[in-house]
Chain A
Amino acid sequence: MSQFLQATLYGLLQGCIFGLVAVGFSLVWGVMNVVNLAHGAFVLSGAYVAYELNDLVGLDPFLGMVPAALVLFAAGYLLQRGLVNLVVNAPIFITLLLTFGLELLVVNGLLLVFTADYRSIPTSYAADSLVLPGDVRLPYGRLIAAIAAVLLTLALSMFVRRTRTGVAILATGMDRGAARLMGISARHVYALTFGIAAALAGAAGAAVGAVTTFSPADAGRYTLFSFIAAVLGGLGNTYGALLGGLVLGLFQAWGGQLLPGTLVNAIAFGVLVVVLALRPQGLAGRAFYASRVEI
């Protein structure tokens, strides 16, 4: 029983990390209809920013989420304004190509600068854990990352619902033409959205760097998990990615207990197929976003 509880708890924590990694990916997809294949590379860039800050001035990686987010926000805003905006109206195939190219550039840039070494940001506490009844462990590092995931998702929710800028982002996502007619500068809103998404990726990277290992080659895996979490949760809601992440984490943990451990990816995609067959818009998604046509 305690084995099952442990797996469930660990799965939930892991799910929160998936959610944290995926929330920016889901935002960009929902608002701009761009599947950002470079998202995993952004996550890793954030991890390297936090790693360097830890190495140079001893900054704690969870505090390092802030500077990592700021750096990635600036990079994301400029990238969108200068590059992705050129093709944002183009068919999705073109944006896929562009972001794929971007991913290759960033990953190989990271390889050049940081080499392919596996790294982890050292802390004195992240691998320690709280002992619950039945010797079920709650590791501090993952707990902090999970709390950060929930807080950031809540903050993003508040931002898009309660502020003018946030509402402008939502409006542009729903109908770009109408938003423009209302005086919203789509270019700026898109750049802002992309920047926020990159910032969230950067923050996620710092947290991931503290609880696990990373190397430039991991970029693809983070993009893949973001994709699954975003589709599972559904687009059009800020908490969709977190929900998707949690479902993914839980099913991986349970599946890992009942089936041979090598089937985790099969489980992840199996869940995805089932959810898509039963609820094509995702668990919390709005059907509108799945069927929308850009004009």
Chain B
Amino acid sequence: MRSKAIIGIAALALTISACGSKGDAGSSAEDSGTLTLGASMSLTGSLAREGALTKEGYDVCAKVVNDKGGVPVGGKKVKLQIQYQDDTSKPDTAAQLVDQFNDKGVKLILGPYGSATTEAAAAVIERNGQVMADSAGADDKIFQKGYKRTFAVLSPANQYASVMLEAIADLAKPKPTTVAFVSADDGFSKTVTKAGVAKAQSLGFQVVGEEYVPNGTSDVSSALTKIKGKNPQVIVGSVHLAEGVAIVKQAKELGITPQIFAETVAPPTPDFAKTLTTSAEGVLGSTQWTSKTSGSDKWLGSAQDYAATFAKQFNNREPEYHGAEATAACLAFVLAVEKAGSTDPNKVRDALAGLDEQTFFGPLKFNDKGQNVTKKMAVIQIQGGKPVAVWPTDSSQASMKFPGAGAA
């Protein structure tokens, strides 16, 4: 990695001296016919699974755009190329890689997977005058530092638990009254939980427990034992896949039977239902995107069209939201470059800031912090081993089953 960077710098130095002018490899896209985006990605390490899903989304975007001739930049069409580097799921490595992209003149950066890596990368982006389209960093903390060059296509962290509570308050009959939260202890999950607790109280639920477990653990028995005596009717998990599976599995072992489980990012991932088989039935999850999401754009069409495109590229697999949000981040760049008529990072940044487009992912419109607050999240429920959209009801695939837990 290091030697590559050195070679890159050496090559850059040679080009500069050969031209005899202060060249900038990144902005010469119009001449070379390619637009290069850099992506530091969790290809190995603890987030390798989600990293792979995100990379697939970026690849779909590149293929679709190039199949249609490329990105229109000021009357010409340039090919889209994405360079990946493995950040091994570590924030400091992600920051270094973004810096290396800058050294190579790559100014437009697609976000890494996860809030921690995105937060580390965002600081470097700001310093270097690069621009980042964030596809998977939802923690509100990233957007409270006054950064002007990071734009997140996804709904912010405070939505993740809140939408599920809204769905339950809206659809569950009779409406449950007690809620307990089990949360991982990373920044993103904690933000989700804090916002969720506030939302639950404002919706009239009684919050009977708020327990934290180590990020990535597969043993949540302590937290569950603590909330068992309080008999919560709803258990909300602000978790990733490992902890999410553990909550359902160990609740069964420990004889904890809420009316419904609601977990943030775990249920929409295909592994969730596969790992838990019948115990997964009825679990609610929140998602950034479903194939019923309304809106469409000229590159990818509607959400349905996107699902078809994705399936064609990846062995008939159905897309889930990690891929969709990645494609949306890449799409944001494509739309912004077209609108700016230039690949100059400052012009692209201004175009992103003023973007207001309907896409297959829903609306892409950023507030002054760079968050996409116009877009609504959706709620899915595992029914028949598959996640199906149940809320908001105007873009749902099936009605919510309640009580949902205890299917086994």
Q: Which residues of A contact B (CB under 8 A)?
A: 2-3, 6-7, 10, 14, 108, 111, 115-120, 122, 127-129, 131, 135, 137, 139, 141-142, 212-215, 217-218, 252-253, 255-257, 260-262, 264-265
User: Nearest residue in B to A216 (C-beta to C-beta)?
Assistant: B48
Q: Could you tell me if A115 and B49 are in contact, using CB atoms closer than 8 angstroms?
A: yes
CA distance A6 to B374 in the complex (A): 46
Which one of B44, B49, B254 lies within 8 Å of A10 (CB-CB)?
Answer: B254
14 contacts between A and B (CB under 8 A): A3-B229, A6-B228, A6-B254, A118-B275, A120-B245, A127-B279, A129-B252, A129-B255, A212-B218, A213-B242, A256-B221, A262-B185, A262-B213, A264-B214
CA distance A282 to B229 in the complex (A): 37
Known: A3-B225, A129-B253. 11 other contacts (CB 8 A): A115-B49, A116-B49, A137-B254, A212-B219, A213-B245, A214-B218, A218-B218, A256-B226, A257-B226, A261-B212, A265-B214
Which one of A10, A128, A212, A218 lies within 8 Å of B246 (CB-CB)?
Answer: A212
In the complex, B25 has a CB within 8 A of chain A: no
A262 proximity list for chain B (CB < 8 A): 185, 212-214
Q: Could you tell me if A119 and B275 are in contact, using CB atoms closer than 8 angstroms?
A: yes
Q: Could you tell me if A3 and B221 are in contact, using CB atoms closer than 8 angstroms?
A: no
A137 proximity list for chain B (CB < 8 A): 253-255
Q: Could you tell me if A256 and B222 are in contact, using CB atoms closer than 8 angstroms?
A: yes
CA distance A127 to B246 in the complex (A): 11
| Interface hits, B349-408 → A, CB 8 Å | 408
Closest A-B pairs by Cβ, 8 of them: A256-B222, A139-B253, A116-B48, A116-B49, A262-B185, A127-B252, A120-B275, A137-B255
Which one of A3, A116, A212, A261 lies within 8 Å of B228 (CB-CB)?
Answer: A3
B217 proximity list for chain A (CB < 8 A): 264
Closest CB in chain B relative to A13 CB, distance in Å: 9
Q: Could you tell me if A261 and B218 are in contact, using CB atoms closer than 8 angstroms?
A: no
Q: Could you tell me if A3 and B275 are in contact, using CB atoms closer than 8 angstroms?
A: no
Which one of B52, B223, B249 lies within 8 Å of A115 (CB-CB)?
Answer: B52
A14 touching B221 in the complex, CB below 8 Å, given contacts A3-B228, A213-B242: yes
Chain B residue total in the interface (Cβ 8 A): 38
Please classify the interface of chain A as helix (H, G, I), strand (E, B), loop, or mixed, using the class held by over half of its residues.
Answer: helix
B408 proximity list for chain A (CB < 8 A): 127
Q: Could you tell me if B223 and A118 are in contact, using CB atoms closer than 8 angstroms?
A: no
Closest CB in chain B relative to A219 CB, distance in Å: 11
**How many interface contacts (CB-CB < 8 Å) are there between A and B?**
107
User: Nearest residue in A to B408 (C-beta to C-beta)?
Assistant: A127
| Interface hits, B252-305 → A, CB 8 Å | 252-255, 271, 274-277, 279
A118 touching B245 in the complex, CB below 8 Å, given contacts A129-B253, A217-B48: yes
User: Nearest residue in B to A138 (C-beta to C-beta)?
Assistant: B253
B222 proximity list for chain A (CB < 8 A): 7, 252-253, 255-257, 261, 264
In the complex, B241 has a CB within 8 A of chain A: yes
A260 touching B225 in the complex, CB below 8 Å, given contacts A115-B52, A120-B245: no
Interface string of B56-83 (1 = CB under 8 A from A): 0000000000000000000000000000
Q: Could you tell me if B226 and A3 are in contact, using CB atoms closer than 8 angstroms?
A: yes
In the complex, B344 has a CB within 8 A of chain A: no
Q: Could you tell me if B219 and A14 are in contact, using CB atoms closer than 8 angstroms?
A: yes
CA distance A2 to B226 in the complex (A): 11
Interface string of B17-50 (1 = CB under 8 A from A): 0000000000000000000000000001110110
Closest CB in chain A relative to B39 CB, distance in Å: 18
Quick one: which of B48, B220, B221, B255 has the most chain A CB within 10 A? Answer: B221
B45 proximity list for chain A (CB < 8 A): 217
User: Nearest residue in B to A256 (C-beta to C-beta)?
Assistant: B222
User: Nearest residue in B to A266 (C-beta to C-beta)?
Assistant: B214
User: Nearest residue in A to B252 (C-beta to C-beta)?
Assistant: A127
Closest CB in chain B relative to A44 CB, distance in Å: 13
Which one of B223, B245, B253 lies within 8 Å of A261 (CB-CB)?
Answer: B223
User: Nearest residue in B to A122 (C-beta to C-beta)?
Assistant: B277
CA distance A295 to B298 in the complex (A): 74
Closest CB in chain B relative to A53 CB, distance in Å: 17
Closest CB in chain B relative to A137 CB, distance in Å: 5
Which one of B219, B241, B253, B277 lies within 8 Å of A118 (CB-CB)?
Answer: B241
Which one of A215, A256, A260, A261 lies within 8 Å of B49 (CB-CB)?
Answer: A215
CA distance A137 to B255 in the complex (A): 7
A215 proximity list for chain B (CB < 8 A): 49, 242
Interface string of B206-240 (1 = CB under 8 A from A): 00000111100111111101101100000000000
CA distance A122 to B408 in the complex (A): 13
Q: Could you tell me if B52 and A116 are in contact, using CB atoms closer than 8 angstroms?
A: yes
User: Nearest residue in A to B223 (C-beta to C-beta)?
Assistant: A261
B254 proximity list for chain A (CB < 8 A): 6, 10, 129, 137, 139
Closest CB in chain B relative to A51 CB, distance in Å: 11
CA distance A65 to B252 in the complex (A): 24
A14 proximity list for chain B (CB < 8 A): 219, 221
A142 proximity list for chain B (CB < 8 A): 253
A117 touching B271 in the complex, CB below 8 Å, given contacts A3-B229, A14-B221, A137-B253: yes
Closest CB in chain A relative to B12 CB, distance in Å: 32
CA distance A255 to B52 in the complex (A): 36
Q: Could you tell me if A120 and B276 are in contact, using CB atoms closer than 8 angstroms?
A: yes
Q: Could you tell me if A10 and B229 are in contact, using CB atoms closer than 8 angstroms?
A: no
User: Nearest residue in B to A10 (C-beta to C-beta)?
Assistant: B221
A253 proximity list for chain B (CB < 8 A): 221-222
Q: Could you tell me if A261 and B213 are in contact, using CB atoms closer than 8 angstroms?
A: yes
A111 proximity list for chain B (CB < 8 A): 44, 48
B255 proximity list for chain A (CB < 8 A): 129, 131, 135, 137
CA distance A255 to B226 in the complex (A): 12
B49 proximity list for chain A (CB < 8 A): 115-118, 215
Quick one: which of B222, B271, B277, B408 has the most chain A CB within 10 A? Answer: B222
